[in-house]
Amino acid sequence: MKFVSVVLLLLFSWSAFAEDMPDPEEDIFLALEEIQSTHLDQAAHRLKSLLQREPDFKLAQLLYGDILKARTRGLHNPGQAIKDTSQLDPLLQEARLRFAAKLNNKPYDRIPAPLLWVDSSIKNVILVDLSQSRLYVMSNQSGIPKLTSDYFVSMGRGGPSKEKSGDLKTPLGVYFVQNYIPQEQLADKYGAGAYPLNYPNAWDRMQGRTGSGIWLHGTRSGTYNRPPLASEGCVVLPNRNLLKVGARITQGETPVIIGENIQWLSQQQWREQSQQYHQRVQGWVNDWQDLDVNAYLQHYSKQFNNGHFTYASWSQHKQRVSRVKQFIHVKLSHLSIYHHPDADLFVATFQQDYQSNNYTSLSWKRQYWKKDADGVWRIIYEGRIEPPKDRLQLVRR
């Protein structure tokens, strides 16, 4: 039964790609290149056919209009016919971002530094670089994340780094797709679907961050894409791209890492870093198994707080239960480690198989590790999470 579902699922995702059209961004890039090399005829022809396919693509409209203008009365500045700079500037910014994204070599042989350890059960990781207005889909190939596709995205009008409700900013950090809201259940402005993220996460709440409803979603009908800074904090993609990214998302599981300065490492650098971080988590497991409660507690920050325990109550509790322990066996599986792109913080998610002389449990946990002022990484939050549900029930529709 499960196997049949997998096959059906595969067939369904294939159908989404079957009617794949040429990438409109590719045409924008080529048109911009043609304009700059004075091949306006070719650019006009290209844009005209692009606009037949995507009549609502504003940037394509701007370029096509400019070519007509250039051919008649001469063009001194892009979009000189648009007097309202609040309309023109976002379009020019979009042109710059899209052009740069295509012009620069894609980091196909590099790995984003935040993806320190990706469990083989995680098929894809989504990475959003707000400084580039770019979303990267990284597929997990035997534990090594590989760049498979990338898209232009819009972010909140307030820019990056959400702090409080209503600031119209997009949060920075490590998030996970919670669920999927299909188009039928959404207002038109969210487009082809929405993937809510777990903002504010445990770390955000500890920082006193407020707000909610940070989603990955599409664009309203009659709009191809939105300007770089356009949403109320959500990450917004053209509907066609949302569907492509959506096909890679597993609800409750797919990480969405949003940053302003995402570093891309060589495989060598990445391996060294990922080993270091893996050892940090393993060090915690080892001290726990060694029944050395003081060493174990040294992995926890004085600011530790998971809603039930503060550092004081946590250490008290651990001291108490350790007195009757004769042995503890802890085995972590499905470990994933993601680094916050813009903070000294990493998030570890795993399944914990705990066995001791008087207690046994199998649970899913998430830890937030923070680098303290003394340079030591300590756990600032640790809590249970819902075990990932059967993946088959979760993929969109």
Partner 1 sequence: MSKRFILAQAGILISLMITVPSVCADTADPAVAALKQGQGEKLIPRLNQAVKKQPDSPQLWNNLAVAYIQAGQYEAAARSFDSAVTVEPVYKTIYANRQKLLDFMAAQAYQKALGNQDKPKLPSFDVLETSQPVVAPVIPAKPVQQQEQPTASIIRQLITDWSQAWQQGKVDAYLSLYSPGFVAADGTGFEQWKNIRTAKLRFSHVQKLAINDEKLFISTDGKQVVSQFVQTYQAERYQDRVVKQLEWVKQPEGWKIKQEIVLETLK
Binding residues for partner 1, rule: CB under 8 A, are 32, 35-40, 66-67, 70-72, 74-78, 80, 92, 95-96, 99
Contact 116, 338 (CB under 8 A): yes
Is the Cβ of residue 96 or residue 384 nearer to partner 1 in the bound state?
A: 96
Distance in Å, CB of 238 to partner 1, minimum:
21
Helix (H) or strand (E) holding 46: helix 40-53
- Reduce the DSSP state of residue 160 to 3 states and report it: strand
* Closest separation in Å from C-beta 81 to partner 1: 12
Shortest Å, Cβ 26 to partner 1: 16
Q: Residue 151: in which H helix or E strand, if any?
A: strand 144-152
Q: How far apart are CA 387 and CA 57, in angstroms?
A: 41
- Please tell me what DSSP assigns to residue 22: -
Shortest gap between Cβ of 224 and partner 1 (angstroms)?
20
**Closest distance to partner 1 from the beta carbon of 99 (Å):** 5
| Terminal-residue alpha carbon distance, the chain | 18
CB of 237 to partner 1, least distance (A): 23
Which CB, 13 or 80, lies closer to partner 1? Answer: 80
Q: Edge-to-edge strands of the sheet including 181-182? A: 181-182, 193-196, 215-217, 235-236
- Helix/strand number for the chain, H first, E second: 11, 20
- Provide the minimum distance between the beta carbon of 243 and partner 1 in the complex, in angstroms, as a whole number: 29
Q: CB of 252: closest distance to partner 1 in angstroms?
A: 41
Distance CA 228, CA 137 (A): 19
Is there a contact between 216 and 194 (Cβ–Cβ < 8 Å)? yes
Q: Which amino acid is at 373?
A: A
- What share of residues in the chain are helix, strand, coil (percent, to 5)? 35, 25, 35
β-sheet bridge partners, residue 329: 355
Rounded Cα distance between 204 and 192, Å, is 28
| Residue type at 278 in one-letter notation | H
> Which CB sits closer to partner 1, 57 or 117?
57
Angstrom distance (rounded) from CA 73 to CA 66: 10
Strands 169-170 and 159-160, sheet pairing? parallel
Q: Kindly tell me which of 7 and 100 has the beta carbon lying closer to partner 1.
A: 100
Distance between CA atoms of residues 197 and 38, nearest Å: 45
Q: What's at 233, amino acid-wise?
A: G
What gap in Å lies between CA 190 and CA 182, rounded to an integer? 10
Report the nearest approach of partner 1 to the CB of residue 73 (Å): 8
